[in-house]
Amino acid sequence: MMYADLHLHSTASDGLLTPTELVTMAKSLGFSAVALTDHDTISGIAEAKTAGVALGIEVIAGIELSAIDDREYGEVEVHILGYLIDPEHKSLHEVLKLIIESRRDRAIKMVKKLNKLGILISLDNVREIAVGESLGRPHIARAMFEAGYISEIREAFSKDYIGRGGLAYVERFKISPREAIELINGAGGVAVLAHPGYLSDGTSLGEEDIYDYCQAGLQGLEVFYSRHSQEQQCCYKKIAKKFNLLVTGGSDFHGGNEVLLGSVKISFDNVKALKNAI
């Protein structure tokens, strides 16, 4: 049986393993293909591909774009996965550059706010942890943890610190799910809705939301996901079928031990269908 994991993070964003380490680990676990899907960056893809060629495992170029959807009941953060994008695409590069710069700017502001709250970490502390270009809240959380201000990473994501709407939180650069989908499609890639059953605020997306994204050009649904229940998996599979969406899946492994590489294994038929969609 050939199987794949299409949702992995490396040190290019907030993962703990380098792209090479990640691909090596996937190969040793028997995967035939993986997709690297770092937050808002494709800077780890070249290294992952080189490792894939050396080890004999297929590496699919991917990205996970963070979008904010303005719905009538409030804003929700929605993640859009992009697969098989052209890494040289000009407007993709321009938008990613803006996002990466704004992430840096946002990190500076959040560190300043934390300092005012008595959390004395510096941007240099964060920079030592964030080796890649895509700076995120997990890097700040790790800096807080290493300095002994919190005893668990998730404490940083409370309203007291950098949780959404928290005292030291700074809003991110906003792109809508529609813009994210169009950006991926424009760069020749396939746009897939990530973990519809597991949004950062604990809610999930339903059929109507997914229908709206289909109108914007969505082509796939991440049905298989480490934090989806059997019930959710079943429900999203039905929705995918109804809207004629590709079925994908992945673990969202970040290198730690909350979610393990190998916890999600999707059939190679899903990978083939994804490639045929191009």
Nearer to ligand AMP, 72 or 152 (CB): 152
Instruction: Report how far residue 181's alpha carbon sits from residue 191's, in angstroms, rounded to the nearest whole number.
Output: 6
Instruction: Report how far residue 89's alpha carbon sits from residue 164's, in angstroms, rounded to the nearest whole number.
Output: 32
79 binds Fe ion (CB under 5 A): yes
For residue 252, the partner it binds in Zn ion, ligand AMP, Fe ion, none, with Cβ less than 5 to 8 A by kind, is Fe ion
Nearer to ligand AMP, 57 or 184 (CB): 184
133 binds ligand AMP (CB under 6 A): no
Choice from 3, 8, 33, 39 touching ligand AMP (CB under 6 A): 39
Q: How is residue 132 written in tokens?
A: 């890649």
CB of 157 to ligand AMP, least distance (A): 3
Choice from 47, 135, 252, 255 touching Fe ion (CB under 5 A): 252
Nearest to 8 by CA among 222, 152, 203: 222
Instruction: Phi first, then psi: give them for residue 223, nearest 5 degrees.
Output: -70, -45
From 24-32, 99-107, 174-182, 245-253, give the range in contact with Fe ion by CB under 5 A: 245-253
CB 17 within 8 A of CB 255: yes
The residues, ordered by sequence, that sit 6+ positions from 92 with a Cβ below 8 Å of its Cβ are: 85, 86, 183, 186, 187
138 binds ligand AMP (CB under 6 A): yes
CB of 39 to ligand AMP, least distance (A): 5
Nearer to ligand AMP, 150 or 221 (CB): 150
Instruction: Phi first, then psi: give them for residue 27, nearest 5 degrees.
Output: -60, -45
Nearer to ligand AMP, 157 or 225 (CB): 157
Would you tell me which residues interact with Zn ion (CB under 5 A)?
A: 14
DSSP letter, residue 277: T
Question: Helices marked H in the chain — which ranges?
Answer: 19-28, 45-55, 90-116, 123-129, 137-146, 177-186, 207-215, 230-242, 268-276
Instruction: Report how far residue 47's alpha carbon sits from residue 135's, in angstroms, rounded to the nearest whole number.
Output: 19
For residues 182 to 201, the per-residue mask of contacts with Fe ion, x marking binding by CB under 5 A and - elsewhere, is ------------x-------
The residues, ordered by sequence, that sit 6+ positions from 134 with a Cβ below 8 Å of its Cβ are: 12, 13, 14, 38, 39, 40, 41, 43, 100, 103
5 binds Fe ion (CB under 5 A): no
CB of 132 to ligand AMP, least distance (A): 12
102 binds ligand AMP (CB under 6 A): no
Question: Segment 10-29, which members bind ligand AMP (CB under 6 A)?
Answer: 14
Question: Which spans of this chain sit near ligand AMP (rule: CB under 6 A)?
Answer: 14, 39, 66, 136-138, 153-154, 157, 172, 200
Sites of contact with Fe ion (CB under 5 A) = 64, 79, 194, 252
